[in-house]
Amino acid sequence: MQTLAFHAIDKSFGPVPVLHKVSFELAAGSAVGLLGENGAGKSTLMKILAGYEVPSGGELRLDGAAVRFAGPRAAEAAGIAMIHQEFALAEALTIAQNIYLGHELKRRGGWLDDDAMRAATAQLLQQVGLACSPDLPVRALSLAEKQRVEIAKALQRRAHVLVMDEPTATLTPTEAEKLFELIAQLKADGVTLIYISHKLEEIERLTDEIIVMRDGRFVNRAPTASLSRAQMASLMVGRELSDLFPPKTPRPSAESLLRVQRLSVPGWAEDVSFNVAPGEILGFAGLVGAGRTELFEGLVGLRESRAERIEIAGHAVNIKSPREAANLGLTYLSEDRKGKGLHLDFGLAQNLTLMMLPRWLRPAEEEAALARAVEDFGIRAASLGARAGSLSGGNQQKLALAKVLHPAPRIVVLDEPTRGVDVGAKRELYGLIQRLAAQGLAVIVVSSELMELIGLCHRIAVLRAGRLQTVVEADSATEELLIAHATGTN
């Protein structure tokens, strides 16, 4: 049993500082919830703990002795394991092969001792409550089962510090319940648990203490039982929620600009109907995997979809490609900024204008458009000739927003518009989105942050397993109500 201490940890990625002198200590066997908004630095701190990142300053201490992990293997050897949001499992290998990957048991002469590994794996699987053969390829497992394999792997490495980053994000309520039972058992066995989740009720249930981070800094720690969820939330945000969101304009009474009737995206969404008026902000809530992103990718022609009827400004339309959608005045901002939103190796102007270029390029006009966008959207760049990849997350996001607005759409779908940006940039983005609505655009915001939807939108639609559950007025919505609809427990 060891105490674990972070001592004045700093971390920068290039010129961008993400952690500032983070210090706190955890007693052996404690269960703490690590709270903070996206971009608060929780994941980076945990990656340092698990050996994936090296701190730029400060040190980790185990039982008072400074340790420095050269990689995840070194951290594992010290008994620290991290269960990722995305699993680090080799799909084609069997469960036993995965659990012993890099730590294979060998017979004399260097030959693999498969029998011993299978037997030990069977025992581990029993321990984590997974009733399947060690010889099953990981590919054949569900997400919840893969997670259990990850935990079994951590147990095999004799981990006594276990970090779990949003472990229930992809689980159904029943699967999550089973996971909680396993966690309780691990706690009873004396494992130190660091639990990251934005679901505050899980934090309440599983942890003894919470540690709050904000903008890369340690902010506060308190016994979990001493705080209400609302208090936890305002500690995370660092100010009253009302400060974060600009005042809402009244919900417009105009005719709907976009009407969608029974839109289906095979495998993801079924018969979803909704409409949005100019000047309105419509939110879409739901769990990961509920089909929100896919629904809108279907709407703009990025995926196969079918609908009974889609109308824009009273005209029936049939959108088969993002090009047609853009020509009709409908654009979509992807949730995946780096993979789908921006060309990181392109300049800012080339990114900004890509959706609508004249046949013969006019560089002077592109530069002028960039200068305007920098002004309008508050994009802060070292120079206008910089590459998009050199911007901070928040400024990249503003550029991505400017990009989907460059074709001057009438309807814009913003998927996770504030993912991975700091609180300051969030506030600016909320202001920008509010301004778009005030200018008469119909705005759809897809977000996993319920507070964001409640603070920003006029109405909120909730999707569960590809089906529309309800559409509620944001003024009467609470996080609990939205979660209840999203999980089907209302």
Partner 1 sequence: MPLEQISRRLRGLGPAVGLVALCLLATFLNSDFATVDNALNVLTRSTFTGIIAVGMCFVIVGGGIDLSVGSMAALIAGCVILLMNSLGAHGVAPGLAVAAGASGAVLIGSLLGFAHGWLITRGRIEPFIVTLGTLGIFRAVLTWLADGGAITLDNDLADAYAPVYYGALLGVPIPIWVFAAVALAAGAVLQRTAYGRHVQAIGSNEQVARYAAVDVDAVKLCSYVVLGAMVGVATLLYVPRLGSASPTTGLLWELEAIAAVIIGGTALKGGSGSIAGTVVGALLLSVIGNVLNLTSFISIHLNAAVQGAVIIAVAFMQRKNKR
The binding site for partner 1 (CB under 8 A) comprises 302, 321-323, 325-326, 331-332, 334, 339-346, 350, 354-355, 357-361, 382-383, 385-386, 403, 407
**Closest C-alpha to 468, from 224, 286, 239, 246:** 286
Closest approach, Cβ 297 to partner 1, in A, equals 9
Residue with tokens 């321990």: 127
Burial code (b: 16+ CB inside 10 Å, e: under 16) for 61-84 equals beeeeeeebeebeebbebbbbbbb
Q: Which amino acid is at 481?
A: L
Residues in the chain: 490
Between residues 77 and 354, which has the closer beta carbon with respect to partner 1?
354
Between residues 62 and 344, which has the closer beta carbon with respect to partner 1?
344
Closest approach, Cβ 80 to partner 1, in A, equals 30
Between residues 151 and 441, which has the closer beta carbon with respect to partner 1?
441
Between residues 108 and 359, which has the closer beta carbon with respect to partner 1?
359
Between residues 323 and 380, which has the closer beta carbon with respect to partner 1?
323
Q: What would the two tokens of residue 275 be?
A: 């409409």
Between residues 145 and 335, which has the closer beta carbon with respect to partner 1?
335
Closest approach, Cβ 480 to partner 1, in A, equals 34
Query: Strand, coil or helix: what is 297?
Result: helix
Closest approach, Cβ 224 to partner 1, in A, equals 41
Distance CA 465, CA 486 (A): 9
Rounding to the nearest 10 degrees, give the CA dihedral for residues 224, 227, 231, 233.
20
Please calculate the CA angle 392-395-396 and round it to the nearest 5 degrees. Answer: 80
**Closest C-alpha to 36, from 244, 227, 217:** 217
Closest approach, Cβ 355 to partner 1, in A, equals 5
**Residue 83 phi, psi dihedral angles, 5° rounding:** -100, 115
Closest approach, Cβ 93 to partner 1, in A, equals 25
Closest approach, Cβ 374 to partner 1, in A, equals 16
Closest approach, Cβ 302 to partner 1, in A, equals 7
Distance CA 462, CA 287 (A): 9
Between residues 42 and 403, which has the closer beta carbon with respect to partner 1?
403
Distance CA 152, CA 145 (A): 10
Between residues 193 and 404, which has the closer beta carbon with respect to partner 1?
404
Assess contact for 82 and 50: CB atoms under 8 A.
yes
